[in-house]
């Protein structure tokens, strides 16, 4: 039992150490490595698989199960990471450069600035962003094994309850454009966060501009 616990701990610690090394550029990886997200996905999957394997059952084979879980989890994580890399590259080619696309290794976050998506105090999606949302709809239909969370955010100007309602309406409005372009409603969840989750200070015009946004989070489903 003790040796199994040590094996599990060592495996998890090793995966975490490798993740830190790839982030800092050791072992041939780094911020500019085109395969970085794939490697990170493999490491995340391996660590998760090791933990799940170790926690399955209570006999003396936890170390073996942790190793098997790490192998399976690493392979799945690498596949997700690679797919997200490809999807990210395609979205960058297809969408307005002002749309921010963030790849965390286990999800994509597409951030639509309010200034190009909605007029002030409006929930009507502006014509200028419609082509980008159509491109996004086509993209997520090609990469169909994912769930979309559409989350509206505002700055802190005005009444908090009004901002909450506005953020919810904007999230739904973006979702409606995706539905109209073929994305099944069953894949989409909408949320409004109002002014509760700023990414910058609301004390400056620049900060408020960053906080007014809609985020589309693309979450790969477990295969």
Q: Do 45 and 116 share a domain, yes or no?
A: no
Q: Which residue ranges in the chain fall short of pLDDT 70?
A: 1-79, 223
| Owning domain of residue 147 | 98-220
| pLDDT for residue 222 | 75
pTM, rounded to two decimals:
0.70
The C-alpha angle with vertex 9 and arms to 106 and 55, in degrees rounded to 5, equals 70
Q: Which helix (H) or strand (E) holds 147?
A: strand 146-153
- Are 86 and 80 in contact, with CB atoms under 8 Å apart? no
The pLDDT value recorded for residue 36 is 59
For residue 6, being part of any structural domain is answered with no
Domain annotation covers residue 209? yes
What pLDDT does 85 receive?
96
Q: Which of 110, 77, 79 is nearest to 92 (CA)?
A: 110
3 is a domain residue: no
Considering the domain architecture, whether residues 82 and 104 belong to the same structural domain is answered as: no
Helices (H), the chain: 2-24, 36-55, 62-94, 114-117, 127-142, 160-180, 205-211
Q: Tell whether 18 is covered by a domain.
A: no
Q: Are 125 and 175 in contact (CB under 8 A)?
A: no
Nearest to 170 by CA among 187, 181, 155, 184: 155
Q: Maximum distance among all alpha carbons in the chain?
A: 63
């Amino acid at each position: 039992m003790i040796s199994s616990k040590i094996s599990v701990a060592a495996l998890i610690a090793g995966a975490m150490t490798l993740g830190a090394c790839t982030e800092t550029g050791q072992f041939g990886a780094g911020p500019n490595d085109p395969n970085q997200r794939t490697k990170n996905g493999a490491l995340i999957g391996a660590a998760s698989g090791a933990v799940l394997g170790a926690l399955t059952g209570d006999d003396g084979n936890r170390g073996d199960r942790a190793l098997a879980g790490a192998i399976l989890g690493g392979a799945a994580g690498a596949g997700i990471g690679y797919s997200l890399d490809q999807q990210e590259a395609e979205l960058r080619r297809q969408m307005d450069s002002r749309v921010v696309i963030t790849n965390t290794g286990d999800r994509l976050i597409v951030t639509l600035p309010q200034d190009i998506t909605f007029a002030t105090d409006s929930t009507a999606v502006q014509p200028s962003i419609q082509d980008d949302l159509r491109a996004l709809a086509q993209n997520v239909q090609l990469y169909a094994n994912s769930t979309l969370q559409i989350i509206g955010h505002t700055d802190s100007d005005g009444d908090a309850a009004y901002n909450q309602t506005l953020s919810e309406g904007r999230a739904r409005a973006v979702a409606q454009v995706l539905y109209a372009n073929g994305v099944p409603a069953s894949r989409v969840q909408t949320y409004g966060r109002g002014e509760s989750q700023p990414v910058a200070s609301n004390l400056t015009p620049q900060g408020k501009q960053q906080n007014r946004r809609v985020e589309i989070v693309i979450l790969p489903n477990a295969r």
